[in-house]
Amino acid sequence: MKKIGITGQEGFIGKHLYNTLNLYKEEFEVIPFYRNYFDDAMLLDAFVSQCDAIVHLAAMNRHDNPEHIYETNVKLVDLLIDALERTGSKPHVLFSSSSQEEKENRYGQSKKDGRQLLTQWAERNNASLTGMIIPNVFGPFGKPFYNSVIATFCHQVSKGETPQILVDGDLKLIYVGELAEAIIEKIRTGAFEPDYILPHTAEMKVSGILQLVQGFKTEYQEKGIIPELKTKFELNLFNTYRCYMDIGNHFPVDYSLHTDPRGTFVELMRLNTGGQISFSTTAPGVTRGNHFHTRKIERFAVIKGNALIRLRKIGTQETLEFTLSGDKPGYVDMPVWYAHNIKNTGNDDLYTVFWINEFYNAEDPDTFFENV
């Protein structure tokens, strides 16, 4: 089992990498890292001494003073190298650089210089370095106005604000889940690649991205329609957008109940994409679920009985609870990276319809056990 450390573990990419590594618990053990380690040489030395691989993500992305960005990022690399030298440690170091290296800004220069410093350390010590030059990263839980323009767009549009496009350029993009898997593959190989250019997985103009995001608000957030998702990028963007909505106040969404002498009729969902629909009964007091997905879109629709649906974002303690009843049919959609379950809280069988956007595949179920 390889022991992996992640500097910047609490950042946008760091959290996703940490959570993804924990899906491979038989292969990797994550050594915890905290920000104060850079302020305490003993703690930093102890950390690097334990690691078979260190993914160096800790960095400053934005600041009013560009020189402060440069000095901070280079200093963090220097501190890491000092700890490695003091302890004689030679883990495989994976450094997160940026395609901003090509531009004449201090952030890009700090990344380029940091990568070169680590390359020199690796060559001096016959150690392994992967210097990853990474395109624009987007995904769930990114910080608006900081991590990416997509995070900003999703935040603003989901709250009814109108984003402004300053430069309508082409963006080369990679989804944070794809990035995490790419980093893990590099950890497995352990090769010396000081200037590895990580390929982008999508490319689109800023205005095109905004148009898609605004379409998600109109179709999904306002009307409950699952939009047509033609590409993997559109699926990843949609799952990103869903995580910026005010989930606690948006759900449950009530259905329109049509009643006449024959009985009742409820339209469960409108969708412009495929998938699989399932039906279940749940005995009183029984709980189903207690798992999460990293890519699937899933809807729980209660049509008879009483239910409690609970959600918890992975890595947090806060739990969202939704009460549903067949007397007032409604649904809750499951965001990615949220553990979820459904409990029959009534005295009779609970009837639930489940929709998911892809066929079940036992070899790639994208279903991970986690108690809410």
Q: What is the pLDDT of residue 103?
A: 87
CA-to-CA distance for 98 and 261, rounded, in angstroms?
65
Rounded to the nearest angstrom, the gap between the alpha carbon of residue 78 and the centroid of all alpha carbons in its chain is 29
Whether the predicted pLDDT of 104 surpasses 90: no
CA-to-CA distance for 119 and 240, rounded, in angstroms?
34
Cα 18-22-27 angle, rounded to 5 deg: 115
Q: Give the helix, strand, coil percentages of the chain, each rounded to 5.
A: 35, 30, 35
Q: What is the CATH number of the domain that holds 262?
A: 2.60.120.10
Please check whether residue 63 lies inside any domain of the structure. yes
Please check whether residue 166 lies inside any domain of the structure. no
Whether the predicted pLDDT of 154 surpasses 90: yes
The domain tally of the chain equals 2
The pair of structure tokens assigned to 208 is 């095109």
Q: What is the pLDDT of residue 224?
A: 96
For the stretch 341-358, pLDDT in tens is 999 999 999 999 999 999
Please check whether residue 240 lies inside any domain of the structure. no
- The mean per-residue pLDDT over the stretch 212-236 comes to 97
H or E element in which residue 69 lies: helix 66-87
Please check whether residue 163 lies inside any domain of the structure. no
Q: What is the CATH number of the domain that holds 130?
A: 3.40.50.720
DSSP state of 271: B
- The reported pTM is 0.95
Q: What is the pLDDT of residue 260?
A: 85
CA-to-CA distance for 190 and 45, rounded, in angstroms?
22
Please check whether residue 148 lies inside any domain of the structure. no
- The mean per-residue pLDDT over the stretch 217-246 comes to 97
Same domain, 196 and 54: yes
Structural domain of 52: 2-142+171-202
Mind giving me the DSSP string for 70-84? HHHHHHHHHHHHHHH
For the stretch 169-219, pLDDT in tens is 999 999 999 999 999 999 999 999 999 999 999 999 999 999 999 999 999
Backbone angles phi, psi at 85, to 5 degrees: -70, -45
